[in-house]
Amino acid sequence: MPPTIEEISDQLTRLVRAKTADANALVREISPLPGHAGFGYSFVLDRATAGGPSGKLVLRVAPEGVRISGPADVVRQAKIMQSLADTEVPVPPIIWYGDEPVFFGRPYFVDGFLEGFRLADNPPISREEARRLARKAIEKLAALHRVDWRSRRDAWGDPTLLADEMKRLDHLLDRPTLDPAVVARGPELRALLYASLPDNPRVGCVHGDFQWSNIMFNAGEVAALIDWEIALCGPTLLDVGWICFFADPASFHGASEENRSSPLSADEIIATYSEVAGFPVSADEVRWFRAFAGYRFGVITCFNLMLHRRGKRDDPHWEDIALSAPTMFSHGIELLEHAG
């Protein structure tokens, strides 16, 4: 269970007073934020002294009772965002992070609250403006991929191989408790992906979940890329394939080009990325990564649906998403069968 607002208020007050050396610092207007990798809250920090952080901020705290790794490693996320502060990539400003047990009993970070909106929320803007902003987001993705990952290895870690990403998903798919009707052609797509692993893909900093829900806009520009829970150093086309997957109605049950929610099509995303990346990128190069994105999200869906149905993680939303899992796998097979 998440801590109560009263508990978070007391813990936050101890933190901000210790970090600012301001014994009169006050925390107010604490409000829970959405997220699956831990607990998040927005709050307002009032300071009696000038200088230093104040105003509206955000707290992220690792969940209790889980191993601090992957999405639960909030300190790693803070370090990754902090490593991008001097680049073209807009990220929330990191203020404090740590794992001192005296404050929350588990790792945390505090960053600046960003005003803005996401295209996934269907903001009241014209379709043409949404398309313009989407292209700006793709420009920032290319900027992320140009970042010198070698000098940021302490934050990002060593490069991850595609074969290792596949093996991580094997652990989720190879379970007898999954619904075979939802798994469908997943193993068949997996075999095709393993048989056609790209050779020597371009390596760089990878967001890992680059899609319209994780891009904030304000004043006609990209305000920040958010939610760095699964960021890694690895093949940069993982990000391109991921956003193309969400832009492709053929991956989802009941979707069509007419009701496509993405402001850009997959082909438009690839063309835009190729224009701004500084080197040509073809649709054929991205094809494997689009198929892998469908496989990855399909496997995650099978696994989370199993957790929900067995009462381990109540989230009925996965029942709706599971309707599309067989389509994700089938479309991934189609993409690979038409490669080249």
DSSP 87: S
Question: DSSP for 261-295?
Answer: -SSS-HHHHHHHHHHHHSS---HHHHHHHHHHHHH
- Whether the per-residue pLDDT at 66 is higher than 90: the answer is no
CA angle, corner 98, sides to 96 and 101, nearest 5? 130
DSSP 117: B
pLDDT of residue 263: 95
CA distance 339 to 230: 28
Across 179-290, the runs of DSSP E, i.e. the strands, are: 203-206, 215-218, 221-225, 232-235
CA angle, corner 247, sides to 160 and 144, nearest 5? 40
pLDDT of residue 210: 98
Q: What is the CATH number of domain 5-112?
A: 3.30.200.20
pLDDT of residue 38: 61
CA distance 282 to 273: 10
CA distance 107 to 99: 4
Q: Which fold has domain 119-337?
A: Aminoglycoside 3'-phosphotransferase; Chain: A, domain 2 (3.90.1200)
Query: pLDDT, tens digit, for every residue of 271-318?
Result: 999 999 989 999 999 999 999 999 999 999 999 999 999 998 889 999
Percentage of residues in the chain having pLDDT higher than 70: 97
pLDDT of residue 226: 95
* Sequence spans of domains, the chain: 5-112, 119-337
Mean pLDDT of 45-54: 85
Q: With CA atoms as reference, report the closest residue to 111 among 90, 131, 128.
A: 90
- Give me the chain's average pLDDT, please: 94
pLDDT of residue 313: 87
Query: pLDDT, tens digit, for every residue of 83-96?
Result: 999 999 999 999 99
Mean pLDDT of 124-136: 97
CA distance 92 to 113: 7
For residues 327 and 253, the answer to whether their CB atoms sit within 8 Å is yes
pLDDT of residue 225: 98
CA distance 140 to 129: 17
CA distance 216 to 222: 6
Strand partners, 45: 27, 55
Mean pLDDT of 118-132: 95
DSSP 63: P
pLDDT of residue 183: 98
Mean pLDDT of 146-156: 97
Mean pLDDT of 113-140: 96
